[in-house]
Amino acid sequence: MLKNTHDSSLILERQRHRLLVPSILLGLLTGAISVGVNLSLSYGEEFRNRVIDFAHQQVIIGPWIMMGFTVMAVCLSVGLVSRFAPEASGSGISHLKGVMQGCWPFRWLRVLVIKFVSMIIGASAGLMLGRAGPTVHMGGAIGQGLVNSWPNQTFKDRSVLIAAGGGAGLAAAFNSPLAGLVFVLEELDSRCSSFEFFAAGIACLSADMVCRIVLGQYPTFHLVIAGTPPLDILIAFLPLGIVSALLGYLFNRTLLTAQKLISLPLWPRFFWWFVLAAMVTTIGWLTPDLLGGGQDFVNSILEGRVFTLQTIVLFFIIRFIVTIGSSSSGAAGGIFMPVLVLGALLGLGVGSIIQLLFPELNVDAKLFAVVGMASYFTGVVRAPLTGIVLIIEMTGNYTLILPLFVACFSAQIVADWLRVVPIYDALLENTIKKNESRELALSNGIN
């Protein structure tokens, strides 16, 4: 018995040692890709702002300049994906899960290139899409590429490195290595073994180090809270969790419905792209701060930017609709950051209402905004631990732990009662059904 245990330990050690070098290389490459994404998005946002400034100087044709720029960018972003790598559309996390489950092969190099280019073009146009999901997808693609090129890698190593690359992608996107590791355990590979955990940890650490060396060690969000939130206001985070679950359910259902509607042959795809471009142009003309992934917008909230309750509701509705449209367009881009933006607006709104109804509690609406990001993420993705760890790392503030637990796990419980299907699982299921329908139609045509 002891000999068998010893032999198992030796096998496990050898597997870990065999995965050490490829895991480090995987993290370094994923970190480098993430740095490229981050810098490219910064340049793209700067270019978009220049276009908006120039358009505002042209009183008559200004809106048409913006419209033309947005339509061209949307068509190019979606067209590249549609023509060369349809599996690169959206965030790619559901596709990555399908690859790990053996549902389809992984054209990793094609996905890597098209994902990067399409996302940069779409985000530069102002589509409300984030970089985290695509970085997770590209990290998984790099993992697949290492498996293909590295000698003596087994089929099991394939799933290990793909999952580790995905986790490294999330770690690099937000400077959050622990969240990347938890995301692998909670979302990508729930059956994760000890050496999978080892590979993911090494990859997340390596990717995060690359990003910190190049981009700096500052947390993603700048939040200043005076002391630890008192225990007597923890109960106030329960309604935030409940509302997050309800609106998370609405988000998931709306996104799935929108994708089905757009796939119907009622109108040509260009019609939907034109409608999306018109919405983005209108928002860019009136409130350009709302465009893009939304990280700077959230930072402005956490740094004390004041909104009326009516403005918060209006901004939430705008971001909700255009995020759904952007994600359904077929362009490469994730919903991770847009969901966090919606959560920040939701939390800010709930915090403002509690301030009005119970002024004696002396609550800080910014605190509700940051907790709302994690609770709304939980309502949509159904991964509460990832949400909690992610927000702690993104703010560098451990004092949020108790409010985060209350809001996230109340959102999880309500989502359980509502039978909310996690969004990435629902997207995966839809893709599988779509592929089965296509194969059935082809076989009927042949017969």
> Which tens digits make up the pLDDT trace of 258-292?
888 887 776 777 888 888 999 999 999 999 889 98
pLDDT greater than 80 at residue 99 = yes
Tokens 């293909």 identify what position? 148
274/313 same-domain check: yes
363/259 same-domain check: yes
pLDDT greater than 90 at residue 113 = yes
What was the pLDDT predicted at 323?
Answer: 93
139/236 same-domain check: no
Domain C-terminal end among 187, 215, 243: 215
User: What is the average pLDDT score of the chain?
Assistant: 85
What was the pLDDT predicted at 102?
Answer: 80
165/253 same-domain check: no
pLDDT greater than 50 at residue 244 = yes
Residues spanned by the domain of 385: 231-431
Give residue-wise pLDDT tens across range 300-335.
888 888 889 999 999 999 999 999 999 988 898 889
Residue 267 lies in a domain: yes
140/258 same-domain check: no
Domain C-terminal end among 215, 247, 279: 215
More confident site: 210 or 1: 210
273/406 same-domain check: yes
Which residues does residue 334 pair with via DSSP β-bridges, in sequence order? 130
Residue 226 lies in a domain: no
Helix (H) or strand (E) holding 341: helix 336-357
Residue 438 lies in a domain: no
Domain C-terminal end among 215, 242, 267: 215
Residue 191 pLDDT grade (very low, low, confident, very high; cuts 50, 70, 90): low
Mean pLDDT of 385-409: 89
Residue 321 lies in a domain: yes
Identify the CA nearest to 70 among candidates 236, 288, 396, 251: 288
286/171 same-domain check: no
pLDDT greater than 90 at residue 221 = no
Residue 443 lies in a domain: no
Give residue-wise pLDDT tens across range 175-189.
888 888 888 887 776
The answer to whether the pTM exceeds 0.75 is yes
Decide if 332 contacts 122 (C-beta within 8 A): yes
What was the pLDDT predicted at 10?
Answer: 57
Helix ranges (DSSP H) in 175-288: 177-183, 194-215, 237-263, 269-286
Percent of the chain with pLDDT over 90: 38
53/142 same-domain check: yes
206/235 same-domain check: no
What was the pLDDT predicted at 373?
Answer: 94
Residue 223 lies in a domain: no
208/127 same-domain check: yes
pLDDT greater than 50 at residue 46 = yes
pLDDT greater than 70 at residue 73 = yes
Residue 437 lies in a domain: no
What was the pLDDT predicted at 2?
Answer: 45
What CATH number should be reported for the domain holding residue 275? 1.10.3080.10
What was the pLDDT predicted at 444?
Answer: 58
Residue 229 zone, left/alpha/beta (φ > 0; ψ -120 to 50; rest)? beta
Q: Total domain count for the chain?
A: 2
Mean pLDDT of 248-259: 93
CA distances (Å), origin 348, targets 50, 145, 440:
30, 43, 48
202/158 same-domain check: yes
What was the pLDDT predicted at 1?
Answer: 47
What was the pLDDT predicted at 175?
Answer: 86
How many whole angstroms separate alpha carbon 129 and alpha carbon 341?
A: 11
Residue 442 lies in a domain: no
278/381 same-domain check: yes
Mean pLDDT of 54-69: 88
What was the pLDDT predicted at 119?
Answer: 93
How many CB atoms within 10 Å of residue 51? 19
Phi, psi of 92 (to 5 degrees): 90, -5
